[in-house]
Structure 1
Amino acid sequence: MLGWGQPATLLLIHDRPPAAAGPKQLRELRSVEFPLRREDLPTDAAGLPVLLRHLAGALHDPAATTPYRATLATILGRIHATAPDARLLAWAACYDDIHTLDGQPRQTRRVDAVDTDGRAYHLTHLRGEDHPLLLVNDSPDPNDIPTGSGLAALLAATTHHTPTTTCGGTA
């Protein structure tokens, strides 16, 4: 939980084989934090989803030369250079929001995620509450969560640019 008013942050969630081989060969879950610049967010209410779709579009366009495209390509390249059999699992967005509960506006920290199996996750932590609320939807409409369509587009774009394994899945 960052303090209120921090820029939105994206998380690239992936896994890889553990550094030390064990008997069960469990995989390590990892994430890479990707902070967004406040000045890049559009000023309208749909700002973060619009930016996510813009980032996804830039990844699909090999001629795009945006700083984010270069950064995302570098991150993905480093992950696969370090762990060639790493697998992309999900993209998540962590951001501030205002929630109106019983008509009262309250500061809220949200984390939305979309995974490669098509599930959507929505974590809401109201300021002053002890515990966040987690909703998981196994077959969501991309518009069920505020950033869902943008995260789904980013996931599709990133998966498209991820090296494939010999069995046809993403690495």
Structure 2
Amino acid sequence: MLSSAAVHTLAGCLLAVDSDADTVGWGRPATLLLIHDRAVSAAGPAPVRAMRSVEFPLHRDDLLTDPAGLPMLLHRLAVSLTTPDAPTPYRATLDTILRLIRATEPDARLLAWAACYDDIITVDGQPRQARRIDAVDADGRVYQLTRPIGEEHPWLLVDDSPDPDDTPATQPGLAALLAATARHRPWNTSGGTA
């Protein structure tokens, strides 16, 4: 179970992703991020941990220009990661990412999957372009960051008890990716999930 400090840090990580998105090109097209943490210092009564987001690259055939296709893509990715008899390029990519994380940060914990994408939202009855970052953490908490284009500050909602009728369409797919990654062999051989 994530501590309240970890939840705040994860929210801060998503805010950092948003502020860096234009510089690194995240969200155009949709970008998937695997978020993990690692111990920075074990000194003191509570160890200090740092969070990182790692881009999970999509095959060019899966790059979406329409955010409506993102929920289906997330489910397809989760299935491809959990089908042991059918090795896929995405399983190989995840293996490589997780092995690199483990090699440099053996005590890393899987915290969340996030999707960064452009979307159309309604503000005061008018359609507006916006950047969305949706995430699901290891406890099932849902994070929704929305930054309307031209606005200086994003809106961030952290939902501890998400209502299935009021969550982003990406939530089930992100949760499925989280579950698939937590069961993935290179991840759970040492250390563990949050």
TM-score (norm 2): 0.76
CA distance, structure 1, for counterparts of residue 26 and residue 189 of structure 2: 39
Q: 1:122 to 1:82 in 2, by over 3 A?
A: same
The answer to whether the aligner puts 1:160 opposite 2:180 as a matched pair is no
Q: Tell me which residue corresponds to 1:126.
A: 148
Change (3 A) 1:4 1:73: closer
Tell me if structure 2 keeps the 8 A contact 1:96–1:108.
yes
Contact 2:135 2:142 in 1 (8 A): yes
Deviation at 1:87, TM superposition (A): 0.4
TM-superposed CA distance for 1:44, in Å, is 6.8
Q: 1:148 aligns with which of 155, 162, 171?
A: 171
1:27 counterpart SS class: strand
Query: What is the identity percentage for the equivalent residue pairs of Structure 1 and Structure 2?
Result: 67
RMSD of the alignment, in Å? 2.5
Preserved CA contact (<8 Å) 1:7 1:36: no
CA contact (8 A) 1:126 1:132 kept: yes
Aligned length: 168
Structure 1 residue runs of 5 or longer lacking an equivalent are none
Aligned-partner residue type, residue 175 of structure 2: A
What is the Cα deviation at residue 26 of structure 1? Answer: 0.8
Instruction: Flag the structure with higher helix content.
Output: 2
**Separation in 1, partners of 2:113, 2:150:** 27
CA apart distance, 1:21? 5.4
Native 8 Å contact 2:27 2:131 kept in 1: no
Q: Which amino acid aligns with 2:94?
A: L
1:105 match: 127
Which has the higher mean CA deviation after the structures are superposed, 67-76 or 105-114?
67-76
Task: Show the counterpart of 1:78.
Answer: 100
Change (3 A) 1:134 1:38: farther
Q: Is the 8 A contact 1:4 1:96 kept in 2?
A: no
- CA displacement at 1:141 relative to structure 2: 3.8
